[in-house]
Amino acid sequence: MRITNVATRILTHAYDGSVRNTRHAWTGKDYLFVSVEADDGSFGLGECYCSGPGAAPVVEAIVRNEIAPLILGEDPRAIRRIQKKLRDAHVLNGRGDGAGTGTAGVDIALWDLLGKICGQPLFRLLGGFSDRAAIYGSSGMYGPALTPERLAEDMARAVAGGLGGIKIKGAGDTLTADLKRVAAVRAAIGPDARLMVDAMFAPDVPSAIRMARALEPYGLHFLEAPTAAADLAGWRSIRESTSIPLAGPELASNVDLMRDYLTRGIVHFLQFDVTIAGGLTQGLDLAALAGCHHRPVTLHCSGSAIGTAASAHLAAAVSNCDSMEFHLMHQFLHEHMWDAGFAIDAGALVLPDRPGLGIDLRLEDLRAARAAA
């Protein structure tokens, strides 16, 4: 069996700009999909994380011009060998996270293909710990209509719908205004549901410490991205100043950085995204690395149905996954998950017993689905 083709497609979902996160308003989000095809006609589908204007074409160019030529002719079942080949090639090319996320999309597609070849769902091939991924709802954006009261109502409705908790954005307004949002959501979802806050790397260290101390009465499960990702000393200062567990680095593809987060005792939850950090292969390695430090992992996820399904399979497969983000705003093509048998139940995303990712779509199917949406 040999890889005969690697194809890509970019699709865009438009927003009206009425809501924003901590850093920017949402006017659109690009999704980059990768298909890996074998000489017997079988194929797998993956997704690359591409956030921000212009990111998707850059990653697509890396996949088409640099990654595809390296893997054409390879046995698609030799996923570890292909992963090493791509990592070695990226050492000197200066592509950074663009190469990492391109590799991630290809890796997910290879696993999807392997699952189809074996006739097994990926959660079983990846480790088989469970067929359920613990999830929390993620949104809590800012906008003129999103008063603390309205936000609280929306988040309470999500928890009542079966999600295991809620994560909202923080550090986007004044500390007083953000605390009103957190207080309203906590009161609405009750004392037992998990509540998390994502500061999106925005505060400086003194501001993050003030925020963390002010948030302590609300019983946060974790505080995500409290300051600049590269400021490990700053993260350490924040961790030592609060009882709230920290989660990060979230959007990194650099394994050495994530190892430093663990060895320096900076985070309780190692957080990464499989569509950025090398795909499912490196996701297994990172979960094992965290496990060796007696730490759980939590998965960032704001992808389409493909990225969400890939994250869910890893989250279900490993024994030390605490939770996975289930985005309430970014739900591009998610109807295909429900059609495939995915379901939300008692704080978990239940995965269907279907081969691969469980969503048997081709690139042309994705285009047709978007045009009809």
Provide the token pair at 306: 């493909």
Q: Which of 144, 59, 70, 153 is nearest to 97 (CA)?
A: 59
Domains of the chain, residue spans: 3-120, 124-350
User: Which of 185, 77, 82 is CA-nearest to residue 139?
Assistant: 185
Across 302-322, average pLDDT: 98
pTM, entire model: 0.96
Q: Is 167 exposed, middle or buried (0-12, 13-18, 19+ CB in 10 A)?
A: buried
Helix boundaries (H) for 192-278: 205-215, 232-241, 255-263
Contact assessment for residue 226 and residue 48, using Cβ atoms and an 8 Å cutoff? no
Residue in 146, 41, 30, 45 with CA at minimum distance from that of residue 104: 45
Query: Taking the C-alpha atoms of 213, 218, 221 and 226 in order, what is their torsion angle to the nearest 10 degrees?
Result: -30
Which amino acid, one-letter code, is at 60? Answer: E
Q: Sign of dihedral through CA atoms 262, 224, 48, 291? A: positive
Give tens-digit pLDDT for 174-187.
999 999 999 999 99
**CATH class for the region spanning 124-350:** alpha beta
Query: No. of H helices and E strands in the chain?
Result: 14, 13
pLDDT confidence tier of residue 370, bands split at 50, 70 and 90 = low
Per-residue model confidence (pLDDT) at position 91 = 83
104 within 8 A of 277, measured Cβ to Cβ: yes
Is residue 28 a contact partner of residue 15, using CB atoms and an 8 Å limit? yes
CA distances from 342 to 12, 196, 280, 337, 349 (A): 24, 24, 19, 5, 7
For residue 247, list its beta bridge partners: 224, 269
Cα–Cα distance between 371 and 336 in angstroms, integer? 14
- Condensed to tens digits (0 to 9), the pLDDT of residues 84-101 reads 999 998 887 777 788 999
pLDDT, residue 92, reads 77
Give the strand order in the sheet containing 43-48.
Answer: 3-14, 28-38, 43-48
- List, in sequence order, the alpha helices (H) in 63-204: 68-71, 79-90, 97-118, 122-125, 148-160, 175-189
Cβ neighbours around 124 below 10 Å, total: 18
- pLDDT level of residue 150 (50, 70, 90 thresholds): very high
Evaluate whether the domain defined by 3-120 bears CATH number 3.30.390.10. Answer: yes
pLDDT confidence band for 373 (50 / 70 / 90): very low
